[in-house]
Chain A
Amino acid sequence: MHIAEGFLPPLHAVAWTAIALPFVIVSARRVNRLMQDQPQIKLLLAASGAFAFVLSALKLPSVTGSCSHATGTGLGAILFGPSVMALLGTIVLLFQALLLAHGGLTTLGANVFSMAIVGPWVAYGLLRGTQRLNAPLTVSVFLAATLGDMATYTVTASQLALAFPDPSSGVLGSFIKFIGIFAPTQLPLAVIEGLLTVVIVNLLRQYSHNELRDLQAFPQALAVEARS
């Protein structure tokens, strides 16, 4: 999902930066307030950012014979709410843009929008929605992390299609081309991200009861656990 440096025309680069910036500012304020109001969750916040750091560093082989990486942003989104991830994701993307020439500064806004904004919001929405339908927490977390990851790559394909419409088949034809590159490669990797996110959430339910309670993450599932 990293659009390489200079690979969005200036107008698009500026527009995506302008769209992403308010989310990152709100996110920074939210993180700041969270750390002041609930200092006991600082370490879990750092660990959630670290999870995105590991997962986005691992380039995994896929069934298509190409490689891609997971995003790891679903975990933080379902624990802290989606707005927190805009800042954490930006830090990860900035590290990769500056030190690894992976992604870029001109495309940072677009990449932040896909990985640190849309992915987390989709993950959070799916978690809340499926929890309301009384799905088991494991299933909710798996769906949230897996589809949040897929959503990120769908946004990247849309961003590229908007910037580079196919001369004959237009934006839609171009989108089909880009999603055809990303989606089949990403699918098994998104499932891996879903599985690993469930593992972490299982461990948190075992050892981090207090923090989950303070954050009011998964209220329904935890209430059921407390009753039984």
Chain B
Amino acid sequence: MNRQNLGLMAAAVLLVIVSLVMGSRQEGAEFAGADGQAMAAVTAIQPDYQPWFSPLWEPPSSEVESLLFALQAALGAGLVGYYLGLRRGQSQPRPRDRADAGD
């Protein structure tokens, strides 16, 4: 199962790399967000549409925005890692128990 997991993770990384390379070859590839493109399409369909509400707070710069995105990912990954590490540790017999069993 560990080997399968390594293979799956390698496949995921490979897919990101292939996407990046293939995407760069597309005309006008800017790697902009699809969400933003969809909102641009809204304005293309209804040029007079005005968003009637704006965000209460916006990150003052893209630096601060990247800080918050990184924070979101770090918190999530940290908790997932903590959980899996804890359970892995719990599922293994402690060295002392193994020594006892050898007596």
Interface residues of B in 1-44 (CB under 8 A from A): 1, 4-5, 8-9, 11-12, 15-16, 18-20, 22-39, 41-42
Q: What residues of chain A lie closer than 8 Å to B70, measured between beta carbons? A: 57
With an 8 Å Cβ cutoff, the count of chain A residues facing the other chain is 73
Q: What residues of chain A lie closer than 8 Å to B19, measured between beta carbons? A: 60-63, 188
Q: How many Å from the CB of B5 to the closest CB on chain A?
A: 5
A28 within 8 A of B: no
Most chain A CB inside 10 Å of its own CB: which residue of B19, B65, B78, B82: B19
Q: Do most interface residues of chain B lie in helix, strand or loop, or is the interface mixed?
A: helix
- A46:B79 contact, CB within 8 angstroms: yes
**How far is B71's CA from A58's CA once the two chains are assembled, in angstroms?**
11
Q: What residues of chain B lie closer than 8 Å to A65, measured between beta carbons? A: 23-31
Interface band, chain B: 35 or more
For B30-61 the 0/1 string (1 means CB < 8 A from A) is 11111111110110011001011111111100
Q: How many Å from the CB of B46 to the closest CB on chain A?
A: 5
Instruction: Decide: A6 near B52, CB < 8 A? Known: A164-B45, A164-B46.
Output: yes
- B87:A208 contact, CB within 8 angstroms: yes
Instruction: Decide: A64 near B23, CB < 8 A? Known: A57-B69, A98-B56, A195-B9.
Output: yes
- A195:B12 contact, CB within 8 angstroms: yes
Name the CB-closest residue of A to B92.
Answer: A207
- B53:A5 contact, CB within 8 angstroms: yes
- A4:B35 contact, CB within 8 angstroms: yes
- B84:A95 contact, CB within 8 angstroms: no
A196 within 8 A of B: yes
Interface residues of A in 46-81 (CB under 8 A from B): 46-47, 50-68
B73 within 8 A of A: yes
Among B15, B42, B45, B90, the residue within 8 A (CB) of A167 is: B45
- A105:B31 contact, CB within 8 angstroms: no
A99 within 8 A of B: yes
Among B35, B68, B76, B83, the residue within 8 A (CB) of A99 is: B68
Count: A-B pairs, CB below 8 Å: 193
- B8:A199 contact, CB within 8 angstroms: yes
- B37:A181 contact, CB within 8 angstroms: yes
Among A44, A98, A164, A181, the residue within 8 A (CB) of B34 is: A181
Q: How many Å from the CB of A185 to the closest CB on chain B?
A: 5
Instruction: Decide: A50 near B33, CB < 8 A? Known: A63-B22, A196-B12.
Output: no
Name the CB-closest residue of B to A60.
Answer: B16
Q: What residues of chain B lie closer than 8 Å to A99, measured between beta carbons? A: 57, 59, 68
- B31:A67 contact, CB within 8 angstroms: yes
Instruction: Decide: A182 near B38, CB < 8 A? Known: A100-B68, A105-B56.
Output: yes
- Give the top 5 A-B pairs by smallest Cβ distance, nearest first: A65-B29, A6-B51, A53-B76, A54-B76, A65-B26
List, sorted by A's number, 15 A–B pairs whose CB atoms are closer than 8 Å.
A6-B53, A6-B54, A50-B75, A53-B72, A53-B75, A54-B77, A57-B73, A62-B23, A66-B33, A99-B57, A100-B59, A100-B72, A105-B53, A195-B11, A200-B80
